[in-house]
Amino acid sequence: MGEIICGYDTDVIRDNFARVRENLERAAEKAGRKTPLLIAATKTVPVEVINFAASELGLTDIGENRVQELTEKYDRLDKSLNVHFIGTLQTNKVHSVVGKASVIHSVDSVKLAREIDRVSKKTGVVTDVLCEINIGREEAKGGVMPEDAVPFALEIEELESIFVRGMMTMAPKCVEKTDYLKYFEETYAIFVDFLRKTRHNIIEPVLSMGMSDSYEYAAASGATAVRVGRALFGERLVP
């Protein structure tokens, strides 16, 4: 057992990071693709544990799901970290995220896009965003329908103070792991269609998909970023 930080075993985290990175590289290489960016999903993970991963394990990017948790952690996070907002975002909380998140992954309405644009303009920044696709057409999840994703992205990219970098999706939970492939491959096709049609020069387009139980299939399907939490940090040893 390694050092315990806020109830987390650092040796376990170190091993988990090595395993996930190896799996990502292997899956991407086998598919002839570039290894995706590893975004650590840090919901409920203490700042001390996140900063350990940044300073000791080379973590560069994290994703927060909740606005309140993001704001509570933000000033104490390692300044080298890029912070992504990956959860559902309400329009009345946009002001708490703009200027903190390098990318907002979950834009799924013109109303939300316009509010991000308005707050960004007021703040004097241009905010990178991703269009969230509800690839499984699930009623309980956010995101635009697959057939609407490209028209939606092309519409909101006309706003001056946001920059549409690409697409994000959360696949339905699959019992058979290989079933993730069909959802990720469909999302990849939509992403490529958008890149063909956009009027902007996107130097580093982003396709964010894949989580702890599916990141290898996302890497094989063309993801440029994966959002992994449990597989990196494991379980907390004490409450």
Q: CATH number of the domain that 22 lies in?
A: 3.20.20.10
Rounded (10°) CA dihedral 8, 72, 106, 134: 50
Is residue 238 in a domain?
no
Is residue 140 in a domain?
yes
In the predicted structure, residue 11 carries a pLDDT above the cut 80: yes
pTM (global) more than 0.85: yes
Q: What is the pLDDT of residues 97-155, one digit of tens each?
A: 999 999 999 999 999 999 999 999 999 999 999 999 999 999 989 999 999 999 999 99
The identity of residue 76, as a single letter, is R
Is residue 100 in a domain?
yes
Res 1: pLDDT: 74
For residue 19, the enclosing domain spans 4-232
Q: What total number of domains does the chain contain?
A: 1
Is residue 179 in a domain?
yes
Q: What is the pLDDT of residues 63-77, one digit of tens each?
A: 999 999 999 999 999
Is residue 125 in a domain?
yes
d(CA 195, CA 203): 11
At 23, the pLDDT band (50, 70, 90 cuts) reads very high
Which residues on neighbouring strands pair with residue 61, listed in sequence order? 39, 82
Is residue 221 in a domain?
yes
d(CA 236, CA 35): 28
Res 238: pLDDT: 58
Q: What is the pLDDT of residues 151-194, one digit of tens each?
A: 999 999 999 999 999 999 999 999 998 999 999 999 999 999 99
Is residue 154 in a domain?
yes
* Cβ pair 233, 63 in contact under 8 A: no
